[in-house]
Structure 1
């Protein structure tokens, strides 16, 4: 599975700034584990040239304060270290080495984890001087960075992954069909849904202790089509399923999401869309994955409650109006066929190849219907579009002043392209590029004929 990197250190050394820098995501798309809003945050980041995904965990500041909240934050930070493959230990280059840093370093050495020291806030400082005293920690070669200014970040990431053993994950075979991850909170019916899809006599496939980066890919057929189920919780016989004791793991969910083509987010019909559900949906969007939603245990709802439940789901999922919501019963197997119709549709939309002429026609229609706004006395010009990638679809738009395109106009473009192209069940990403004047700095070469004409004109001017 994906490597997990935890960021730890004293309070206010810049851990959250580094987290945002690595994940390149807004706060709304980064899930806080419920009840732990002051410490662990999870996100998906990518390495440099190889562009490999990994899970990054932000933690609260480690401190020896006896306050109950401080102890809780420190406890959760230590749990993040336990579930990680590598640790970035952040220190403050302006404050220098402190007794608290030495105490944390001592604790990290005892864990046996791969630890890389990041000396933050070194902008304007000599790197060798800023990192010099941190060699005494005996962890690794300290790296000078500035998270706020995004300096030294790639060197730090390269240093971290140079020490992580390569994953033993089996490369994906394109003949395995669509990869589907089923994620959700405990006790929403994931295991029942999985066993319904695979059959009651599916052999046990437990996670092996210590192999947190390994995943189970289970091929199966639904109807006449092939799929691969990405399992993170272990597939058990129906009689051995006990979701009451299943532990919710954000890391495992992130790992499954990153490997999937399509994600099925399962929620409990009786509880509706909770904050934890919204956090998972945000992580799916952050990863750019196609998705569909299964509101499970629909058979347990009274007829009088179903209308209110549908209304509440629609109200809380207004930001996902392009995603199909299915009301299912994994126990009875109802609604599953339609669920996989949406899985297929979402995958087709996410992997679709679009002609440049088709995209330019949609762009022209959007500009005619609603021209871009005027910014600082000049109207933004969007000239042409082409596809930059798929899964999720990436549309690159070239023009002038594209960095000034406001958010509301970006949303308008997303809606227009989605409706015109029929892209359902997948997020759409836009990249705006401002094109420089191709003739800037270029001098025209005058032909001999033009030179003779110029001489005649100059003689005429002189005579006057």
Structure 2
């Protein structure tokens, strides 16, 4: 499934992150009046009128001489080249800048479809808006992320310019994708698995950098391995900046049942690692963290790394961690066994009576708090969505449950249902009161 990718490109502080949060329906990107706050690409899989797409928020695309700005520019350039559609966002509170025209020409050279969105309509002067005609776009979408002016029209234009795909039904063959930062050892690990058996190699279409799907067998179980590094030798990689959150990675996550997130033990775990892990969990994928190059550490360095890792991942206790060495083949068998076991468990279903018994057990262990002297009652639980797994809890006054108790319920369900490497979404619904005013 080649879910289309929509990238937001523009100068710093034009409202890209605000638009990203508006469409994603959550505060994923940092919004600030200070220019240049977004440094890494933010990404979220969303649906517009039931049409799935990837939304990518990039750093402000400005050419400064410092090393950080140059890297941010390169990230945005790569995002534009890999996207199916680019939203060029500008600041309507000022006249069209030469930088805006330069960005438009830059995007047009990539041959990617582009829409011009002039933000901050509420602060714009009509004469200033007219200056954006010189960019040469057929249509200008005047919007305001603050008061949502023109957002519906822009959404419609997005839908008109992307391919509509349907979510595919889960296959019985386990699909395992390997992702991670550059030089984490993805290619080495993939090549290690691939050379153990004769394999059929096929390109997954629709990616700028082709991911490679390999049909393999592990312990007499057929499975499909997707390598986001494209099974290339490192000597053939010449790019100065190799991207992590690329179209290849996003689509490889889309395809998978289980995602192996590879971390380099010789480096510190980064913010981008957390983003990818949480993205996979939110999408309903099973996740295994593979700590590669553990053999490169001394005994004391290994102990320090494990301590730092346990602190960094203390909120992800359900995600298994496997220490390995891809070059030596150490623990690679255990890693794939874990990944395939989790993939097979994705099709598990839970009936209402079972989930309700789990809920009753959790409530009995730790009752919910009262609200103004009145108890919050949790009556039943049922599955409301399979991928990603969503459990709906019904009761009385459920809207008053504090976040701490919702976390308690989430962790309790994960533990009781033995959902290793996965996450669940809890939805709270209150019983209808027939005497309440309409």
- Report the TM-score, using the length of structure 2 for normalisation: 0.82
Q: 1:351 offset after TM fit, Å? A: 3.3
Bigger shift: 258-267 or 292-301? 292-301
| Change in CA separation of 1:135 and 1:383 when aligned onto 2, cut-off 3 Å | farther
- Per the alignment, in what secondary structure is the counterpart of residue 174 of structure 1? coil
Q: 1:180 offset after TM fit, Å? A: 0.8
RMSD between aligned residues: 3.9
Quote the Cα distance in structure 1 between the aligned partners of 2:206 and 2:361. 55
Quote the Cα distance in structure 1 between the aligned partners of 2:330 and 2:41. 36
- 8 A contact 1:22–1:45 mirrored in 2: no
Aligned pairs for 1:65-464 (under 5 A) are 73-74=72-73, 76-93=75-92, 95=94, 101-102=100-101, 104-122=103-121, 137-149=135-147, 153=151, 155-164=153-162, 174-175=171-172, 177-199=173-195, 211-212=207-208, 215-236=211-232, 240-242=233-235, 247-251=242-246, 252-375=248-371, 378-438=374-434, 440=436
| Change in CA separation of 1:268 and 1:211 when aligned onto 2, cut-off 3 Å | closer
Deviations 1:226-271 (A, max 9, x none): 21112322125xxx45498573431132222222111001112333
Tell me what 1:449 maps to: none
Quote the Cα distance in structure 1 between the aligned partners of 2:179 and 2:68. 30
Q: 1:356 offset after TM fit, Å? A: 0.7
| Change in CA separation of 1:298 and 1:39 when aligned onto 2, cut-off 3 Å | closer
Greater fraction helix: 1
Bigger shift: 412-421 or 302-311? 302-311
Deviations 1:41-95 (A, max 9, x none): 23122232334232423331547x7888766655543443233221112234555
Deviations 1:163-202 (A, max 9, x none): 23568x9978825x11111011222221121112111687
Deviations 1:97-148 (A, max 9, x none): 56654554454444432111224344699xx999777566432433344434
Tell me what 2:42 maps to: 42
Tell me what 2:9 maps to: 8
Tell me what 1:446 maps to: none
| Change in CA separation of 1:411 and 1:329 when aligned onto 2, cut-off 3 Å | same
Deviations 1:266-313 (A, max 9, x none): 112333534443343233234332101111223334445443433332
- Per the alignment, in what secondary structure is the counterpart of residue 318 of structure 1? coil
Quote the Cα distance in structure 1 between the aligned partners of 2:359 and 2:61. 47
- 8 A contact 1:7–1:57 mirrored in 2: yes
- Report the TM-score, using the length of structure 1 for normalisation: 0.78
Aligned length: 429
Unaligned ranges ≥5, structure 1: 31-35, 443-464
Quote the Cα distance in structure 2 between the aligned partners of 1:123 and 1:67. 34
